[in-house]
Amino acid sequence: MVVAVIVMYLYLVNNRGGSLLAGRYTRDVKKALAIAERLESAGHRPNVIQKGPNYMVYIATADLLKLAERDGEIRRAIALFLAEKVKNGTPKQREIAEKILKRHPPFFHRT
């Protein structure tokens, strides 16, 4: 999916009930900071973390849901991603995707 002209990917995270992130990996810290700056200038609240030799710029679940409320394409991409994980994901991915869908049922059924 594209957020502020940045191609980002959706990830499920196994923490306290599961989370959904939109993120982008890069090996270059300067590029990661530039991506974060672009997202911030577009009104988002990006985070940058180091994961091994890479840096990940991501938008957390709450901010991602706010973004999806305003953008039907992003909402549709999230709904399709979660539906795919419920249908064909690993058991853990299914569990996390189902929890997210249960927490926000009307939100994802409007697509």
The strand pairing partners of 25, in sequence order, are 56
| Phi, psi at 42, each rounded to 5° | -90, 5
Percentage of residues in the chain with pLDDT exceeding 70?
94
Element housing 37 (H / E): helix 29-41
Per the structure, the complete domain to which residue 99 belongs is given by 2-108
pLDDT tens profile 19-55: 999 999 999 999 999 999 999 998 899 999 999 999 9
The structure's pTM equals 0.85
| CATH number (domain holding residue 6) | 3.10.28
pLDDT tens profile 58-77: 999 889 888 888 888 888 99
- What total of structural domains would you count in the chain? 1
